[in-house]
Amino acid sequence: MVKARPTQKVKLVAGLLASDTALFARAAALLERALRNKVDFESEVSDFSHTDYYTKEMGPGLKRKFISFEKVVDPEGLYKVKLAANKLERRLSSGERRVINIDPGYLDLSKLVLFSTKDYSHRIYLRNGIYAEVTLFYRDRAFNPWPWTYPDYKTPGYKRIFGHIRDTYKKQMGRI
C-alpha cells in the first residue's frame, strides 16, 4: 500500500486590483499582519483592461499589482487566506462597494493556484465556501495557461512575474 507523503511548503501570492493605487500598500500591510508573513516581492503596477467585470462595482481605471510573501507555508488550511482576504476587502470597502479586490493563492514549482468563492467545473471545493483552481502550470521553463485561465494571467508580463516569484521560491526550497 502506498502511504501519503507530507506536503511540500508553498509560496503565498496575492493579486491586488483597485483604481486607487494607494490601497495596494494598505492592503499589503493588512495582509502581512493577518498572515503573520512579510511581503518579499511587489510587482510594478499595471493597467487592468482585460475585462470590465469589476468596473460596475469598483469603477474605471483599474490597476493591478502582485505581491508574494517571505515565509513558505504548509498548504493545509490555506482556504483561510481567502477568508482573511475577503474580510480585508470588506474592511476597506466604501459602504457596500468594494474598492479593492484581493485574489490570494499560492505557487509551487509546478503550478499557480488561486482561491475563489465561486464554483465552476474546473474548481475544487476546499472548505467554508472556498474553492481552488490551478490557474497556470509550469512546463518548458515557463508558466502556461489552461483553457479556463483568466485572460490577464495568460499575458507574458504576468507569466514573467510568476516566473520571478517561482525563482525565489526555488531558492528558498534549496532547489538551485
Q: Is the pLDDT of residue 38 over 70?
A: yes
Alpha helices in the chain (DSSP H): 22-35, 55-58, 79-92, 156-172
pTM of the model: 0.93
Nearest residue to 15 via CA among 137, 144, 135, 126: 135
Q: Is the pLDDT of residue 176 over 70?
A: no
Residue 166 phi/psi, 5° resolution? -60, -40
Average pLDDT of the residues of the chain: 95
Please, what are the domains in the chain? 12-172 (3.30.70)
pLDDT at position 5 is 86
Altogether, the residues listed in the chain come to a count of 176
pLDDT at position 6 is 85
Cell matching residue 17: 486590483
pLDDT digits (tens, 9 = 90+) for 56-108: 889 899 999 999 999 999 999 999 999 999 999 999 998 888 999 999 999 99
Q: Quick one: average pLDDT of 37-54?
A: 93
Residue 136 phi/psi, 5° resolution? -135, 150
In the chain, what's the furthest Cα-to-Cα distance? 56
